[in-house]
Amino acid sequence: MGTPTQSASEAGGEPKHGGFSLPSAYTILFALIVLVAILTWIIPAGVYNLNATTGEPIPGTYHEVASHPAHILRDSLTAPINGLYGIEDTTGNINYYNSGSLFGAIDIALFILVIGGFLGVTMKTGAIETGIGNLVARLKGRERLMIPVLMSVFALGGTSYGMAEESLGFYALVITVMIAAGFDALVGAAVVLLGCGIGVIGSTVNPFATGIASGIAGVPISEGLVGRLVILIVGVAIGIVFVMRYADRVKKDPSKSLVFDLKAENEARFRADSGDAAQVALTGNQKTILGVFGLAFVVMIYGVIPWSDLGIPFPTWWWWFPEMTASFLLFAVIIGLIGRLSEGELTTSFVDGARDLLGVALIIGIARGITVIMNNAQITDTVLHWIEKALGGTGEVWFVILMFLLFLPLSFVIPSSSGLATLSMPIVAPLAGFLGVSTALVVTAYQGASGVMNLVVPTSAVVMGGLAIARVPYGTYLRWVWPLLIVLSGLVVVVLAISAAISS
């Protein structure tokens, strides 16, 4: 769900043994705050003239102004706090430009916490776990079909709510079934990891990627939905073919398994753990809960679409983060009541779920703090001006492709999707407007690059934890999956290029 990265041991996997490891997203982002504070003494201050109606910068009007360098210690410590409350300029007035929302990042942070509570209540009912377990049981004896079916189910979790850490609970079950079917542990791990991950690459309404990035960029979450759906559908199909080809090869000749040396150990381990895990039944209440769970996201989509602006005769609700937050709060209560949770169970599971995503809320504040430092020192427009000069002649198609390529290394350094969106969107979104490129395409470029990198980034609890559960060495996984990553990256680039060409 775009949460800050953890070590593999924190995710229930094997502990790391020596060697270099990247620091956490918190440390990286706070170090960037200090670095940017230092750069305010080097980078010249400057501003664009703003459109009196929209408050957006006017291309070609950049000019330098008197410098306002940051107080490195004081401003570095207060920047994350100011980032949550609202960005202030040097005169103490709220700076709406690049703030992402009128009240800073606090509305986004609260939305994330309520989403966490909503997921916590849903998980407490057992509906999602039981639903997947029931699906496994129904496909017993037809295990090959489980690969496309389960990858599609996990992809739905990825595209809708950024299913990531929650997937760790399914590895043992899926790997057990895959080994029993004559496949190997890598197939089982890939079904979960790639299923969820490709879903995130093609995020449609994922509040932790598409939602935050769209909110900061100032575009409805529904804008760019068609392109993201294409990435989701085609990407999942490509992933399924990739995994099934390897699975068929292992089934035909087990010695072709990339983890063949661990075959005896894995078979003994996972067959011993299997028990009756797959023998489950989905109750009527749980079916209703799954339906209401999906309805919550449908309502969110409907609420943010400006139907009247599109000329469609549907009531327009003009929702944004406060309304979406309230909606998920309501659906959390409804699901708790349908699941017959007691008052104590409902509130406890909601608070526990929100606690699980507290790190994401903090990440947003820290990342927004970088924008606070830049805006207060008036160097944001200077950086924007430099990028405008560098990319101004590239054209719409090359611009979105270069944005995707730029986000790839940024996603490695900042693996938190929420943090990356909060950090980058205030700069690149106005740049897209300068060049006449749809801001929604920048959102798609960001989430595509972030999703691809988070399939392999070694600081990810999902990657390292899932592989540790499956006993698949990271290097083995990396050598196996890199062709798929190239194809998925190519898919995102093609969709971005076609979308930019159509919209130009």
What pLDDT was estimated at residue 104? 57
**For residue 206, pLDDT beyond 90:** no
Specify the range with the lowest mean pLDDT, choosing from 31-35, 148-152, 174-178.
174-178
Tokens 């693996």 belong to: 415
**Identity (one letter) of the amino acid at 439?**
T
The three-class DSSP label of residue 51 is coil
What number is the average pLDDT over the span 343-349?
94
The three-class DSSP label of residue 8 is coil
What number is the average pLDDT over the span 126-133?
80
Query: What b-and-e string marks burial along 160-171, b requiring 16 or more CB atoms within 10 Å of the CB?
Result: bbbbbbbbbebb
What pLDDT was estimated at residue 278? 46
Specify the range with the lowest mean pLDDT, choosing from 238-252, 344-358, 364-378.
364-378
H helices within 40-166, ranges in order? 72-85, 106-125, 127-138, 143-161
**For residue 159, pLDDT beyond 60:** yes
CA distance 112 to 105: 11
What pLDDT was estimated at residue 169? 66
What Rg value do the Cα atoms of the chain yield, rounded? Answer: 23
What number is the average pLDDT over the span 373-392?
82
Structure tokens at 500: 């930019």
User: 482 pLDDT band (50/70/90 cuts)?
Assistant: very high
Backbone φ and ψ of 164, nearest 5°: -145, -85
What pLDDT was estimated at residue 89? 47
**For residue 143, pLDDT beyond 80:** no
User: 460 pLDDT band (50/70/90 cuts)?
Assistant: confident
CA distances from 332 to 140, 159, 341, 421 (A): 33, 20, 11, 26
**For residue 240, pLDDT beyond 80:** yes
Summarised one tens digit per residue, pLDDT across range 286-311 is 899 999 988 988 888 788 776 776 67
**For residue 452, pLDDT beyond 50:** yes
Residue with the bigger pLDDT between 33 and 238: it is 238
* pLDDT over 70 percentage in the chain: 85
What number is the average pLDDT over the span 209-216?
86
What pLDDT was estimated at residue 221? 84
Q: Is 85 exposed, middle or buried (0-12, 13-18, 19+ CB in 10 A)?
A: middle
**For residue 164, pLDDT beyond 70:** yes
What pLDDT was estimated at residue 98? 38
Summarised one tens digit per residue, pLDDT across range 26-69 is 787 788 889 989 999 999 999 888 777 766 677 778 888 998 89
What number is the average pLDDT over the span 328-355?
94
* pLDDT over 90 percentage in the chain: 31
Residue with the bigger pLDDT between 176 and 276: it is 176
What pLDDT was estimated at residue 8? 35
H helices within 339-460, ranges in order? 343-356, 358-376, 380-391, 395-413, 417-434, 439-453
Q: What is the domain partition of the chain in residue ranges?
A: 25-503
What pLDDT was estimated at residue 99? 36
**For residue 265, pLDDT beyond 90:** no
User: 318 pLDDT band (50/70/90 cuts)?
Assistant: confident
Q: What is the pTM of this model?
A: 0.71
Summarised one tens digit per residue, pLDDT across range 71-116 is 988 888 888 888 777 655 444 433 433 333 334 578 878 888 898 8
Q: Return the DSSP state at 94.
A: B
